[in-house]
Chain A
Amino acid sequence: MFHSILNKESGGKKQPKAIPVTLSTRIRLARNLRQFPFPGRAEVSQKRAVLSKCIDAMSGIKGLNNSISVEVDDLSELDRQILVEQHLISPELSQVEEGSGIVLTQDRACCIMINEEDHLRIQVLRPGLDFSSVWKHADELDSGIESAINYAYDGELGFLTACPTNLGTGMRASVMMHLPGLVMSKNMDKVINAVNQLGIAVRGLFGEGSDANGSIFQISNQQTLGESESAIIERLNSTLESLVKQENFAREKLLQDDRTRLIDKMSRAIGSLKTCHLIQSAEAMDLLSLVRLATDFGMMPEKFRGLADRMFIEVQPGHVQLSAGKAIDPSRRDELRAELLRNHFLRAPLLDLSSH
């Protein structure tokens, strides 16, 4: 049952179209129950009590009637890896021994972690850039759960969390951004520094620092106390807007100053994806990043943007094994990954340079 949710292609009619630069929006709320120690300090029996209290509280909630709840230790190693690769759970939660759980909706738009660092981590995610609907959804879920549970809350300090960096709203709002222009023009370190000064954090989503695989970064608020949720979102949004501008500017500049080299790179990426027989996930991510960039330039048909986004996830080691139906060793994975990409890019056209 759980396996089938993970294996399902995300999609359906409601899925918004993939857009340039911004891949997805997420809001995470950290909450704890009154009168129970935080998970890091709790006995297994206390964690179990919290787990069942939380699952009971969620059972009647409107937004969660199409969801499934499962204990982490009932999941196979591979299922946990898949959840991490889809960014539904944290690597930390995937490693816990006992007393932690996950509530996941069928459409994977909402995933609640129970007994991670805090008792509850309510997460809502959505493709594209859309904080208002993601916040509304998260806020409703939170209020629904809160109608059945007493949260640890202090009038002055807000929602009490295991780590003081999450105190107050307990909210981490983030977007996943595709920033190949800033990476290729070697401006990413500068941008990270500037954005940090505004209380906004930037980290590579896959890999580390400014050399993130696929040039995909997660941008989020660092501060959670002293501002309302809407003020935090507004501040993040204005930073994101300027990041998008900077990225587009960097792309245009690359195309002007180093046109042939850039076109060569994007063109070869498509060639590699059509012809590879062995490929590691890091290389695959970088090729897919160039495909997404070429699509944004209008040199590839629009549908390749969505395909690149899907492949970013499906080339991850866990997903390659999921589609193989079993655990396989890394060299065989590289072969299967190459086969997957070849199949998807078989009919990919050459770059259309007519408008450039």
Chain B
Amino acid sequence: MKCHHCDNQSTVHLTQILNGQMHKMDLCEGCAQAKGVTNPENLSISNLMDKVELEVDSNAASMVCESCGTTHQEFKKGGRLGCEACYHVFRPVLDPLLDGMHAGTKHLGKVPAGSESRIQFEQSIHSLKKDLQDAVEKEDYEKAAELRDKLRDLENQTKATA
């Protein structure tokens, strides 16, 4: 039987029962190790880290989050990130970790509707302001007036809902 992930002969046969349904997966030794299924008890971050390190180039060692100062070494040692920006900075070392740690790598749960729309709103105000500044600098006053009106409408909208 071939491995689910590569063409090697499978030696590890994983059976999971989810919601009463049986799911089977056949893996070769290497992929099983990489997925961390051979010993679920030891599925800890630092264990996974060691594996990941082999795959990530030496740039990882010098990674540091400019926003909060967390270094790759600190993350490796403590397993904790310092701020939301860390998730962008450490993404290359994080992605393979998440793959072994969780059921998937994409969020399928609750969406915080309020936060999302407020953040989008902030971002659109920010980009309108920037466009307005550009238009003024280029002396494109027609466009500037149009952007100014849009911005005013948006800002009035927040006052109305606030």
Measured CB to CB, the residues of A under 8 A from B are: 32, 34-38, 40-41, 117, 139, 142-143, 146-147, 149-160, 162-165, 167-169, 171, 193, 196-199, 222-229, 231, 234-235, 238
Contacts and interface: CB of A to CB of B under 8 A. Distances in A.
Nearest to B118: A150
30 contacts: A34-B119, A35-B84, A37-B83, A38-B80, A40-B78, A151-B115, A156-B106, A156-B107, A157-B87, A157-B98, A158-B109, A159-B107, A160-B87, A163-B80, A164-B97, A168-B109, A169-B109, A169-B110, A197-B14, A199-B103, A225-B98, A225-B105, A225-B106, A226-B102, A226-B104, A226-B105, A226-B108, A228-B108, A228-B109, A228-B110
A147 B114 contact: yes
B116 interface: yes
Contacts of B82: 37-38, 40-41, 162
A225 B102 contact: yes
B112 A225 contact: no
B139 to A, nearest CB: 35
B40 A227 contact: no
Contacts of B79: 163-165
B147 interface: no
A150 B119 contact: yes
Given A164-B98, A226-B108, A153 B116 contact: yes
Given A198-B18, A229-B110, 12 more contacts: A41-B83, A142-B110, A146-B115, A153-B111, A153-B115, A157-B98, A160-B84, A160-B87, A163-B79, A165-B79, A198-B17, A223-B103
B33 interface: no
A157 B107 contact: yes
Contacts of B110: 139, 142, 169, 228-229
Nearest to B69: A41
- Interface SS of A by simple majority: loop
A117 B101 CA distance: 19
A196 B105 CA distance: 20
B128 to A, nearest CB: 19
Name the 3 nearest CB pairs between A and B, nearest first. Answer: A226-B104, A158-B107, A41-B82
A193 B41 contact: yes
Q: How large is the interface on B (under 10, 10 to 19, 20 to 34, 35 or more residues)?
A: 35 or more
A32 B79 CA distance: 17
A196 B43 CA distance: 10
A51 B14 CA distance: 45
Interface in B139-161: none
Contacts of A228: 108-110
- Interface SS of B by simple majority: loop
Contacts of B104: 225-227
Nearest to A41: B82
Contact of A164 (B83, B101, B109, B114): B101
A41 B70 contact: yes
B107 A169 contact: yes
A223 B98 CA distance: 10
Contacts of A149: 115
B63 to A, nearest CB: 15
A158 B102 CA distance: 13
Nearest to A165: B101
Nearest to B81: A162
Contact of A231 (B80, B98, B108): B108
Contacts of B114: 143, 146-147, 150
A325 to B, nearest CB: 40
B59 interface: no
A349 B105 CA distance: 56
A154 B83 contact: no
B19 interface: yes
B16 A198 contact: yes
Contacts of B61: none
Contacts of B17: 198, 238
A345 B121 CA distance: 63
A6 B43 CA distance: 37
A192 to B, nearest CB: 8
B20 A150 contact: no
